[in-house]
Structure 1
Amino acid sequence: MTKRPTVIPVSRVDQLAASVLDGLRRTPKELSPVWFYDEYGSTLFDSICELPEYYLTRTELGIMQEHAAEMAQIIGPQAALIEFGSGTSLKTRLLLDHLVAPAAYVPVDIAREHLIEAANTLARDYPAVRIFPVCADFTAPFELPKQLQDAQRRVVYFPGSTLGNFSRDQARAVLQRMREIVGDTGAVLIGIDLQKDPDVLRAAYNDSAGVTAQFNLNALRHINRELGTKFDLTAFEHDAVWNEEQGRIEMHLISKRDQVVDVSGTPIRFSRGEHLRTEYCHKYTQAGFESLAASARLTSTRVWTDAEKKFSVQLLEPVRVQ
């Protein structure tokens, strides 16, 4: 699960209703995880990151604290650091603390207000670093600042295991976009969650305090507020399901009874016990991720992990076409 806040303009309500309906008409039914993140959902996610069962954030942060200096040395001086889905930039600070004369830092995020606020904070704390925030969806083409032309190399930074939230084809496309951005001389530094005991994964996405359950149900609460639907939150329960075939943990909401929900004038029927999928997070074997990276003409040249090999931060470098 990854924090990806989004602002929803009123002018897009019809589009969003159509998108929700499209997901609810599928088999199995599904919703976009973007619905997790209103103000309340973002607060819940911050709480999840502090839970004892949720190993991802603290494990990746520990890897960065231990190895950021080595990563920065490999990246080298005068590099432009381009971060996809920049968030709070907490882990980025560890890199900026060690990078030698970085040419620029370019945070890329779709949430404009959050992006500008985070960029301004970093600008105050790192006055020697040129910061060029770009408000864009990194899964689609976007323009980089022209000021990056004097950088020695470009490095895309993608922490947080966000790649796991995409389908395999989508993940390949994101990696291919990164490959285009860094060219033949750059690199990608990316967080990848590794496959492990399914019980550890289920616990991480189904904590004993019930915070993740509230986070999952908040998708329905958010839709109710934005689209005027009347999902009964007490009529659904949360579950985290390990999908062995797909190699991913899935967040589901399960209908407790037969029910009908009106979505923009369209009745959507739920059977008792029916699953509504709200998110999936792929967990990779090292060989599986290397194969995916290779399909985007990238090769994993360095891998940093925690002692238990739960999580990895990997340096990908371009494979040149002969």
Structure 2
Amino acid sequence: MKPGIEWRQPRASAEQRQFAADLHAALARAPKAISPKYFYDETGSRLFEQICDLPEYYPTRTELALLQAHAADMAAQFGPQVQLVEYGAGALRKVRLLLDAMPHDGVQFVPMDISGPHLLAACDGLAVDCPGLAIQPLVADFTRPHTLPPCADGSRRVGFFPGSSIGNFTPAEADAFLRLAAAELKGGGLLIGIDLVKDAHVLHAAYNDARGVTAAFNMNVLERARAELGAEFPSGGFEHLAFYNPAYRRIEMHLRATQPLVLRLGDQSYMFNEGETLHTEHSHKYTVSGFQALAQRAGFKPGKVWTDANQWFAVLWLEAS
């Protein structure tokens, strides 16, 4: 950890207790489903970085190209003195393009992520490359109540939420996050990436890569449960399943039981029939107008929009006036 970088770390035992409670609840409900935030331990975060570089996975390279082409225009929406909050910051790869287009002496950068070690390693690298940048990492679940550092005098707070991660939320969860963001970014705004509705074959390939990295990323939820919580289940008992559900305009990821089995967690046992799944993630696809309407209901005013030539991805500026 480099000098000058502040870190607020949650107690690991409390985090594990929350994981256990959420996994018990996920396994007890019908159908079984758990939040995708539990993908992102250190291993899961590393696997997701690999996914982002896969030839089939278009969202990362498409959004990066938009940021590379329009970073100056995007940063111009922020104003000169800002506290820049990145939700689900991860490897800090995309935000660097924005930071390069901003004067570092006027920026207070607050990257927020649930995976502490991964976030801190990324902040160490950023601190070396941007020695004049004030970095205040916050290890937290940004969908739950949290406390951001105070803004410097004369600054306004703006958010950055790239990667189409908003698509992982249900419509109700997306509305709740946008309302939370509109409240804490009041007087500033939010720059957000969304994945657009497109051909189902393109989507299927993106979530079923030939190298099996996405499958390993999906399986990591159970591997993490085995390592951290002592969960017991048969080796080879689950397989990766991902498909496009047109009724909901979303990709769904599941872990499907390959045989009848029992998953033991603590003093509880949970039955899986062959073919039964644990729903681990969904990724909603939006139209620009549809998402702008959702954001407007949450308290934002739609602003500029940047899209690629294929109309596969969009980055939107939303005013939180």
Do they superpose with TM above 0.5? Answer: yes
Q: Kindly indicate whether the alpha-carbon contact (under 8 Å) linking 1:35 and 1:223 is maintained by their aligned counterparts in 2.
A: no
Aligned twin of 1:115:
119
Q: Percent same amino acid among aligned pairs? A: 46
Q: Distance in 2 between matches of 1:50 and 1:306?
A: 18
Q: Kindly indicate whether the alpha-carbon contact (under 8 Å) linking 2:40 and 2:115 is maintained by their aligned counterparts in 1.
A: no
- Residue type of the alignment partner of 1:94: L
Q: Kindly indicate whether the alpha-carbon contact (under 8 Å) linking 2:10 and 2:139 is maintained by their aligned counterparts in 1.
A: no
Q: Secondary structure at the match of 1:149?
A: coil
Q: Distance in 2 between matches of 1:26 and 1:55?
A: 33
TM-aligned CA distance change 1:182 to 1:220, over 3 Å: closer
What does 1:203-214 correspond to in 2, within 5 Å?
Answer: 203-214=205-216
Aligned twin of 2:188:
186
Q: Give the drift of 1:13.
A: 4.4
User: Which deviates further from its counterpart, 11-20 or 69-78?
Assistant: 11-20
User: Which deviates further from its counterpart, 291-300 or 132-141?
Assistant: 132-141
Q: Distance in 2 between matches of 1:35 and 1:54?
A: 21
TM-aligned CA distance change 1:189 to 1:12, over 3 Å: closer
Cα deviation, 1:72-126, whole Å, max 9, x if unaligned, reads 2232312221211221211111111111453322222233333333333323322
Q: Distance in 2 between matches of 1:138 and 1:12?
A: 14
TM-aligned CA distance change 1:112 to 1:209, over 3 Å: closer
TM-aligned CA distance change 1:167 to 1:275, over 3 Å: same
Q: Secondary structure at the match of 1:75?
A: coil
Match among 63, 67, 72 for residue 69 of structure 1: 72
Unmatched tracts of structure 2, length 5 or more: 1-8
Match among 59, 63, 66 for residue 62 of structure 2: 59
Match among 152, 164, 168 for residue 165 of structure 1: 168
TM-aligned CA distance change 1:7 to 1:193, over 3 Å: farther
Q: Kindly indicate whether the alpha-carbon contact (under 8 Å) linking 1:63 and 1:305 is maintained by their aligned counterparts in 2.
A: yes
- Residue type of the alignment partner of 1:98: A
Q: Secondary structure at the match of 1:170?
A: helix
Q: Kindly indicate whether the alpha-carbon contact (under 8 Å) linking 1:76 and 1:99 is maintained by their aligned counterparts in 2.
A: no
Q: Give the drift of 1:15.
A: 4.2
TM-aligned CA distance change 1:43 to 1:233, over 3 Å: farther
User: Which deviates further from its counterpart, 247-256 or 237-246?
Assistant: 237-246
Q: Distance in 2 between matches of 1:141 and 1:8?
A: 16
Q: Aligned Cα RMSD in Å?
A: 2.2
- Residue type of the alignment partner of 1:23: A
Cα deviation, 1:272-310, whole Å, max 9, x if unaligned, reads 121221111111111220121011111221111111111
What does 1:10-21 correspond to in 2, within 5 Å?
Answer: 10=13, 13-21=16-24
Aligned twin of 1:3:
none
Aligned twin of 2:33:
30
TM-aligned CA distance change 1:147 to 1:40, over 3 Å: closer
1:244 aligns with 2:246: yes
TM-aligned CA distance change 1:144 to 1:253, over 3 Å: closer
1:127 aligns with 2:107: no
Q: Distance in 2 between matches of 1:35 and 1:74?
A: 33
Q: Kindly indicate whether the alpha-carbon contact (under 8 Å) linking 2:19 and 2:38 is maintained by their aligned counterparts in 1.
A: no
Unmatched tracts of structure 1, length 5 or more: 1-5
Aligned twin of 1:141:
145
Q: Distance in 1 between matches of 2:210 and 2:280?
A: 20
Q: Kindly indicate whether the alpha-carbon contact (under 8 Å) linking 1:217 and 1:233 is maintained by their aligned counterparts in 2.
A: no
1:294 aligns with 2:296: yes
User: Which deviates further from its counterpart, 308-317 or 153-162?
Assistant: 153-162
Q: Kindly indicate whether the alpha-carbon contact (under 8 Å) linking 2:45 and 2:90 is maintained by their aligned counterparts in 1.
A: no
1:305 aligns with 2:289: no
Cα deviation, 1:216-247, whole Å, max 9, x if unaligned, reads 12222221122222222412221112222222
Cα deviation, 1:31-73, whole Å, max 9, x if unaligned, reads 3323433443333222211111111111111110111011122
Q: Distance in 1 between matches of 2:154 and 2:164?
A: 30
Q: Secondary structure at the match of 1:188?
A: strand
- Residue type of the alignment partner of 1:54: Y
Q: Kindly indicate whether the alpha-carbon contact (under 8 Å) linking 2:252 and 2:283 is maintained by their aligned counterparts in 1.
A: yes
User: Which deviates further from its counterpart, 107-116 or 283-292?
Assistant: 107-116
Give the TM-score normalised by the residue count of structure 2: 0.89
Match among 212, 216, 219 for residue 217 of structure 1: 219
Q: Secondary structure at the match of 2:248?
A: coil
How many residues are paired up?
A: 312
Q: Distance in 2 between matches of 1:307 and 1:61?
A: 14
Q: Secondary structure at the match of 1:317?
A: strand
